[in-house]
Structure 1
């Protein structure tokens, strides 16, 4: 039930305090200079309470986007420091752009305007080339903030609904299907062997023979390698599911050789020379080797496509390739197998 109380200050100025007491809620009140404002607030608040929406609406009026981002990042950090680092830059961009916005005022129009701004972003590379942000990258920004809003709706009751529900992601171009031919593979491995970087050659061999991602390989610890069973147990994977991949042939020999000269101050298979607690950074050595091998338009992740194509050409089914690569669906593994190889598989 609502009560309107008239108050007079020492200076003689009038104000009106609206007080609401309702079963199941703590008493709430607000003060206004005009009685009509106090009555209107009381009616709206009582209606929200009867509909079971008062808590959410009141929180959304008190909280800002900055509050949401800060709390969400704290939550993510407690679960995974690595995921926190991946999301931090993207969510802080949203905070910088609309951190001041009250959650109750966060609309599709405001978000869409910022998505358009983000999609028009460019930056200058070291060689002077101007590069546009990719649709895929923009979609990661959208997904990061959207998930934070979902948590705010379902768990914190800071929002009535997720404003991203009616916002479409940008259309992305078809995924890359680049893989090494025999000559390119020979040239690349030759340059990796010649590299001054101790770990480059075994890391590339592992990528080609197991199809593992760069982060999975560089994050390997010696306890993850089972020499007796000739396999690697990947604990930190993209889909957060443990995966076992075979370790055999030349890859097994290289890792076995590394184990004989392993560092005793770290459990990492590929530790950084400057900080054994961190894994080695492959980028500079990789880029130099690819350049020396004269292989155009080839990224480290394309080694995964190459591994998938080699498995397919050796008679592995899509289901078997999916198990090795750690894909949850056959549609996902299909994107890693080049169309030329698929034709060969189906022809057989």
Structure 2
């Protein structure tokens, strides 16, 4: 709704237009003449009416398609689409303006019982993101998910390798029938990169002179540069193809990454590691950094976390390092 306020100041009279928008920041604009203020308010209101008329006919499935094609900037649209498929089956043909809190709750209640609270929250968050897109771009007035509380989640997993475990794992990787398993594990621990980021690296992404790797497609949609240790560079040189092929290419289909599940499971077993997954190499990176004095912001930067909340699972390791440092330096005072 638009309101026009008359203002008095040293320069004379002016007119400020205020337009309230539910779920969005209000619009403020000041004019010298009241007639100009009225024209501006009328133009905005007409635009809002047109958006509302359009959105009244818009179905959820159409909104999802618009979001995926115009808004989504991640690297895995198919994964995004597969999770949204549940919502499309549940309320895809419903008009957006008819969808309410009860419809969202009904969809969440019908999810399989074995799903964790964290996974259920992701379903709710995806629906919320789509509705927020509609609010920003199409003038929708409500996001029905905003009235639904997220379920409590367990603390993030922080399994990481001890020094002895790391040595055993590296030894097992070197003995693997897949000759590049050691390189993959070494890069994972020393860079903190995700599995998908490493598997999609190509030889022309490596700058051997600067000792860095360039990753253009990441989980959060932002490119990043991975500093590489001299050990990684030396290991890469053993396999260097000097072309644009995948570094960890499949032997059967070179255009696709190698499926290393079996050699990895074998190496974990030979190294006598319990409850250890490939993604835990990333936790190992963060834990080593924390134990050696890195701040949470520095760890977040290395891992590519956009939200510091995700990195806080390593906070206790940072505190332990600080306690050790304080006792070593100040203990004798």
Q: TM-score range by the shorter chain?
A: 0.7 to 0.9
After TM superposition, the score normalised by the length of structure 1 is: 0.72
1:165 counterpart (124, 146, 163): 146
Does 1:276 find its partner at 2:243? no
Alpha-carbon distance between aligned partners in 1 of 2:309 and 2:85, rounded to the nearest angstrom: 33
Alpha-carbon distance between aligned partners in 1 of 2:312 and 2:142, rounded to the nearest angstrom: 36
Contact 1:69 / 1:92 at 8 angstroms: preserved in 2? no
2:234 counterpart (238, 253, 259): 253
* CA distances 1:8-63 after superposition (whole Å, capped 9, x unpaired): xxxxxxxxxxxxxxxxxxxxxxxxxxxxxxxxxxxxxxxxx988754344334423
Q: Name the count of aligned residue pairs.
A: 282
- Considering Cα pairs closer than 8 Å and 6+ residues apart, tell me whether 1 or 2 has the greater RCO: 2
Contact 2:294 / 2:318 at 8 angstroms: preserved in 1? no
Alpha-carbon distance between aligned partners in 1 of 2:86 and 2:284, rounded to the nearest angstrom: 35
1:208 counterpart (182, 189, 194): 189
Gaps of 5+ in 1: 1-48, 123-131
> Partner of 2:146: helix, strand, or coil?
coil
Trace 1:320-335 onto structure 2 (pairs within 5 A).
Answer: 320-328=298-306, 331-335=309-313
Alpha-carbon distance between aligned partners in 2 of 1:227 and 1:307, rounded to the nearest angstrom: 22
Alpha-carbon distance between aligned partners in 1 of 2:283 and 2:160, rounded to the nearest angstrom: 6
Does 1:70 find its partner at 2:51? no
- Structure 2 equivalent of residue 232 of structure 1: 213
After TM superposition, the score normalised by the length of structure 2 is: 0.75
Does 1:141 find its partner at 2:115? no
Gaps of 5+ in 2: 1-43, 326-333
Deviation at residue 340 of structure 1 after TM alignment: 4.6
Distance change in 2, residues 1:224/1:107 (3 Å): same
Alpha-carbon distance between aligned partners in 2 of 1:99 and 1:108, rounded to the nearest angstrom: 15
1:83 counterpart (76, 88, 105): 76
Contact 1:56 / 1:160 at 8 angstroms: preserved in 2? no
- Structure 2 equivalent of residue 184 of structure 1: 165
- Structure 1 equivalent of residue 331 of structure 2: none
The higher radius of gyration belongs to: 1
Alpha-carbon distance between aligned partners in 2 of 1:151 and 1:100, rounded to the nearest angstrom: 18
Distance change in 2, residues 1:52/1:314 (3 Å): closer
- Structure 2 equivalent of residue 194 of structure 1: 175
- Structure 1 equivalent of residue 273 of structure 2: 295
Alpha-carbon distance between aligned partners in 2 of 1:279 and 1:244, rounded to the nearest angstrom: 20
> Partner of 1:178: helix, strand, or coil?
coil
Contact 2:60 / 2:95 at 8 angstroms: preserved in 1? yes
